[in-house]
Amino acid sequence: MAEQIYRPQARRSFLALGVGLAVLSLSACQLVPKAGPQRPPEPTGPETEAPETGPDRTEGLPQDLDRHRIAVLVPLTGANAGVGQSIANAANLALLDSGGDRIRITVYDTAKGVDTAANAALADGNRLFLGPLLSEDVRAAAPIAARSGVPVIAFSNDASVAGGGTYLMGFTPAQSISRVVRYARTQGVERFAALTPEGVYGRRAGQAMIDAVNRGGGRLIGMQSFDRGIPGLRSAIVKLNTQGTWDAIVIADSGRTAVTAAPTLRNGPSSGARILGTELWSTETGLGKTPGLRGAWYAAPSDTMFDQLRTRYRARYGGNPYRLASLGYDAVLLTVRVGKTWRFGRPFPEGELRDRIGFTGIDGAFRFGASGIAERALEVREVTAAGTKVVSPAAREFD
């Protein structure tokens, strides 16, 4: 029986199974429902089981002789509870869809103390961590897991936390910037510019831009950071305009920022330049309502499988998942796949994560490189008046 448990203190997953989400078997046993509290409009909690107690129990969990224990570490309370709950719900769906009867998932609430959650997960005998979500939580949990030889598959997009047994499932700016710049080069774009926000994401996006243009054989005309807000953004564009003209400009921030920047860019010396975006744009709708953004390109994971996941999720939990829910689903299916050769009572076979061919999940093909960061096959979309269209599909597999 596939099983997911919620611990009272803190607890809260890949589609390399060769079939699509729409035809995955629901052969796993149903959980005995003890529904958690609903907090509309946030996603509803999945079915849970109360921890068992008794002389042959460890920290309230039954001893397992024929199942691997996996910990999902996400925030279930506080400001990020909606995202964490959504990831946990999707992890539960993956367990049911895959018939993962060799795996027991327990969910730990990192918002109540990530150190406490990580140590409780180890005490409960978990041999793999899925999560945490936030980079600071990954930094805290990773060394605790490493001391016990437990790998971490985190949901963060902060590349600095990867390595040393920590793997990153999150979407990083380097992935999308590299993809959209590479596509632009195939379309004859040579001269590039970039606007990057102040902060860690902006700094990483800026370095990704430099690397992508250099690899692609283009020229980086100028790059300018900005303070978020209309005055800071407009000031940065004015400064950037003094550095020369370009054929395309990357706005390494949200679609809302691009909406704000477009009119000013269209009135500058590079008014005809192609606007490029990052994966952050994929969560926003209505970008095409801004005329200056029509024709813009950005790279993101395909939504085809996620749309099917959304339908299943809505039917089961009565609400829509956050887009990051796919990370929880894919991480569990990855675990189920590796679990086919994982011997009971042995450490998680970490080497299986570094499969050169890679895996396929809700978000398409991905694989972990030597750095521990997921390399992803992304599609390129073009903003249109009616929404978006795919101008360069994602690769189905890696070379």
pLDDT, residue 63, reads 62
Q: What are phi and psi of 58, to 5 degrees?
A: -115, 115
Task: Name the token pair of 137.
Answer: 């939580």
Q: In Å, what is the CA distance from 85 to each residue of 4, 103, 200, 268?
A: 13, 20, 26, 44
d(CA 174, CA 197): 15
Query: Do 290 and 259 touch, CB atoms closer than 8 A?
Result: yes
3-state secondary structure of 326: helix
pLDDT, residue 6, reads 52
Question: For residue 110, which of 7, 9, 10 has the smallest C-alpha distance?
Answer: 10
Q: What are phi and psi of 386, to 5 degrees?
A: -95, -5
Vertex 15: Cα angle to 13 and 16 (nearest 5)? 120
What are the tens digits of pLDDT across the range 98-142?
A: 877 788 999 999 999 999 999 999 999 999 999 999 999 999 999
In sequence order, the β-bridge partners of residue 382 are 297, 389
Task: Name the token pair of 388.
Answer: 């978006």
pLDDT, residue 151, reads 96
Domain ranges (residues) in the chain? 3-170+304-368, 173-300+378-392
Question: For residue 152, which of 329, 372, 357 has the smallest C-alpha distance?
Answer: 372
Q: What are phi and psi of 22, to 5 degrees?
A: -65, -25
pLDDT, residue 367, reads 92
In this structure, the number of other CB atoms found within 10 A of the CB of residue 234 comes to 15
Question: For residue 52, which of 112, 113, 104 has the smallest C-alpha distance?
Answer: 104
pLDDT, residue 4, reads 55
Q: Which residue has the tokens 């999902």?
A: 72
Q: CATH assignment of 173-300+378-392, given 3.30.930.10, 3.40.50.2300, 3.30.230.10, 3.40.50.720?
A: 3.40.50.2300
Regions of the chain where pLDDT drops below 50: 1-3, 8-59
d(CA 7, CA 50): 8
pLDDT, residue 36, reads 31
Domain 3-170+304-368 fold is Rossmann fold (3.40.50)
Question: For residue 161, which of 200, 202, 113 has the smallest C-alpha distance?
Answer: 200
What are the tens digits of pLDDT across the range 193-236?
A: 999 999 989 999 999 999 999 999 999 999 999 998 899 999 99
pLDDT, residue 339, reads 77
d(CA 317, CA 305): 18
pLDDT, residue 44, reads 44
Q: In Å, what is the CA distance from 133 to each residue of 307, 351, 389?
A: 22, 23, 30
Q: What are phi and psi of 105, to 5 degrees?
A: -105, 130
**Cis bond before residue 349 (omega within 30° of 0):** no
d(CA 320, CA 310): 6
Query: Do 225 and 197 touch, CB atoms closer than 8 A?
Result: yes
Task: Name the token pair of 195.
Answer: 């606007």
- Topology match between the domains 3-170+304-368 and 173-300+378-392: yes
